[in-house]
Amino acid sequence: MALDFSQIIPALPGLADGMLLTLKLLVMAVGGGVVLGTLLALARLSDNLLLSRLAKWYVNYFRSIPLLLVISWFYLVVPMVLSWITGDLTPVGAFTSCLVAFVMFEAAYFSEIVRAGIQSISRGQINAAYALGMTYSQAMRLVILPQAFRKMMPLLLQQSIILFQDTSLVYAVGLMDFLNTARSKGDVVGLPHEFLLFAGAVYFVISFGASQWVKRLQKRFAV
Amino acid sequence: MNYHWDWGIFFKSTGVGSEIYLNWFVSGLGWTIAVALAGWAIALLLGSVLGVMRTLPGKLLPTIATTYVELFRNVPLLVQLFIWYFLVPDLLPTPLEMWFKQGISPAASAYLSVVVCLGLFTAARVCEQVRTGIQALPRGQNNAALAMGFSTAQTYRFVLLPQAFRIIIPPLTSEFLNIFKNSSVASLIGLMELLAQTKQTAEFSANIFEAFTLATLIYFVLNMSLMGFMAWVEKRVRIPGMMGGSK
């Protein structure tokens, strides 16, 4: 079997569009996931037993089911639920469904990282903040979280690299991300193998490069 | 708006033969378990070999193992699956390719691809755990074994590995759970495992919530039972006097 990579060059603009969608999904999912994950971690660590239990269940629930199940489910369910809530029957696209699925799923993983980060800050910090007359939200916002995030940055980035690879699962609902674009372009010109290998190589270079960079960062951040 | 709830759906006929929907879920769960266990066998075996290689003296063997790990960890699982299912068969010698494409059923060729894919994918992760386990042992263990005249092979076989495997049971457990969850990608190459059966039920019956709720419940219970099983294994093999085998 001879491989012919020449057809990839004319397909590059289309592939770039696919990569753009992948990156857009990644950035929005990481942003949403970290915010929701932080709220979950705060709930988990709060003195309110009900909140803490709920957060624990949320995390255990999403960590015990496959991401692909969440994506497939939300693809069918999110449009329905949204139309119940808003009463508006215009369908939302696959992108919104996938984004909701990723944010909710990844929040469970991010929250465990954030929780460990918060717990690694010494108790004296929060006591000192209270002694200065700060409220809970001020203490968290101005004292604890900035330190915690600095500590857990490498882990958050590592999780984001995993998420970058996992975005390829949107293939299941036909969203034209980088992998799906490569597959369809490859089929059109009759060179599916070349395009698949090219896609794999691009994912590899980005993930490998990013994780090497995170390793260097980890050394710099080490206290 | 007009969603028709029906929790009895699982006992209704699918309209295909005499099956009820519950039969689909049972057969899907069977495939999920069959994929995960076979993949895990490969992952554990290959991962252990690679993990040992990473800790050996010299340059060549550790480099090979490190390259393997980086390669399999930085390419998305789905890309790897497509490579095993669509590309690799075309590289095989013709008789083998014919056998894969026509000699065996489509389910069997999908099963083979996904088992190999998950096995090799998970082996990279197992390798890292095994390496960590070996490196966590005090250097004295290795030195003492060598001083007693053990060969390198004997040192690993009788001294290092029996201890390392006990230490890494908790992280291995989470990889073991991951392979069950990751086996759901098989649905994308047409293997009718649990997720594929769930989607099919959702499509046939239009009872989306019920179908996915049951699937979630099955994955949840599966996870819990596997965790319980691994905790039992961990307790069984614990070395008296060591710090609980975990930390």
The region of weakest confidence among A9-23, B7-21, B71-85 is: B7-21
With beta carbons under 8 A apart, name residues in chain B contacting A80: 3, 208
Minimal Cα–Cα distance from B210 to chain A, Å? 11
Of B74, B82, B87, Cβ closest to residue A211: B74
Short-list B179, B160, B224, CA closest to B34: B179
Query: If you average pLDDT over residues A20-43, what whole number do you get?
Result: 97
The model's pLDDT over A72-100, given as tens digits with 9 standing for 90+, comes to 999 988 888 887 887 776 677 889 999 99
* Contact check, Cβ <8 Å, B83/A197: yes
A68 and B185 in contact by Cβ < 8 A?
A: yes
- B203 and chain A in contact, CB less than 8 A: no
Is residue A177 a part of any domain in this protein?
A: yes
| Residues in chain A closer than 8 A to B224 (CB atoms) | 64
* Chain B environment of A67 (Cβ under 8 Å): 181
Nearest CA in chain B to A210: B74
**Least CB–CB distance from A72: residue in B3, B70, B195:** B195
**Does any domain span residue A191?**
yes
Question: CA of A88, closest CA in chain B: separation in Å?
Answer: 11
Residues 12-41 of B with CB under 8 A from A: none
Residue contact A64–B219, C-beta within 8 A: yes
Contacts of A179 in chain B (CB under 8 A): 76, 78-79
Distance from CA of A193 to the nearest CA of B (A): 6
Q: Does B219 touch chain A (CB under 8 A)?
A: yes
Task: Say if the Cβ atoms of A68 and B3 lie within 8 Å.
Answer: no
Q: Is residue A1 part of a domain?
A: no
What's the structural domain count of chain A?
1
Calculate how close chain A gets to B173, using CA atoms only, in Å.
13
The answer to whether the CB atoms of B220 and A166 lie below 8 A apart is no
pLDDT of amino acid A98: 95
pLDDT at residue B191 above 70?
yes
Distance in Å, alpha carbon of B35 to nearest chain A alpha carbon:
15
B53-97 tens-digit pLDDT:
999 989 999 999 999 999 999 999 999 999 999 999 999 999 999
In a domain, A149, yes or no: yes
How many degrees, rounded to 5, is the angle at CA A190 between CA A11 and CA A200?
A: 60
pLDDT tops 60 at residue A30: yes
Return the SS3 of B15.
coil
The model's confidence at residue B19, banded by pLDDT at 50, 70 and 90, is: confident
How close, in Å, is residue A71 to chain B by CA atoms?
11
The DSSP element (H or E) to which A64 belongs, if any, is: none
Q: Which pLDDT band holds residue A223 (cuts at 50, 70, 90)?
A: low
A155-191 tens-digit pLDDT: 999 999 999 999 999 999 999 999 999 999 999 999 9
Question: What is the average pLDDT across A5-31?
Answer: 94
pLDDT by residue (tens digit) across B136-168? 999 999 999 999 999 999 999 999 999 999 999
Average pLDDT value over all residues in chain B: 91
Q: Residue B223 — pLDDT band, cuts 50, 70, 90?
A: very high
DSSP string, B17-80: TT-BHHHHHHHHHHHHHHHHHHHHHHHHHHHHHHHHHHHSSSSHHHHHHHHHHHHHHSS-HHHH
Q: Is the pLDDT of residue B14 over 80?
A: no
pLDDT over 70 (residue A1): no
Q: What value does the mean pLDDT take over residues A1-18?
A: 88
Mean pLDDT in residue range B171-179: 94
Quick one: pLDDT at residue A45? Answer: 93
Residue-number span of the structural domain to which A40 is assigned: 11-221
User: Cβ separation of B223 and A64 shorter than 8 Å?
Assistant: yes
Q: Do B75 and A203 touch (CB under 8 A)?
A: yes
Question: Is the pLDDT confidence value at B246 over 60?
Answer: no
| Spatial CB neighbours of A8, under 8 Å, sequence gap ≥ 6 | A15, A194, A195, A198
User: Are B86 and A204 an interchain contact pair (Cβ–Cβ within 8 Å)?
Assistant: no
A56-83 mean pLDDT: 90
Distance from the Cα of B239 to chain A's closest Cα (Å) equals 29
**Position B247 confidence tier, pLDDT thresholds 50, 70, 90:** very low
DSSP codes joined into one string, B185-228 = GGGGGT---HHHHHHHHHHHH--HHHHHHHHHHHHHHHHHHHHH
In a domain, residue A4? The reply is no
Domain-wise residue ranges, chain B? 7-237
Q: Which amino acid is at A134?
A: M
What is the DSSP-derived secondary structure letter of residue A91?
P
Answer whether CATH 1.10.3720.10 is correct for domain B7-237: yes
Confidence band for A13, pLDDT divided at 50, 70 and 90: very high
Confirm or reject contact between B3 and chain A (CB < 8 A). Answer: yes
In this structure, what CATH number is given to the domain that contains residue A142? Answer: 1.10.3720.10
Put simply, the answer to whether B199 touches A72 (Cβ < 8 Å) is yes
Q: Spell out the long-range contacts of B51-55 with Cβ–Cβ below 8 A and sequence spacing 24 or more.
A: B51/B126, B51/B127, B51/B128, B51/B129, B51/B130, B51/B131, B51/B133, B51/B134, B52/B130, B52/B134, B52/B156, B52/B161, B54/B127, B54/B131, B55/B131, B55/B134, B55/B135
Q: How does residue B16 score in pLDDT terms, banded at 50, 70 and 90?
A: confident
Residues of B in contact with A171 (CB under 8 A): 78, 188
SS3 category, B84? helix
| Token pair of A27 as six digits | 């950035």
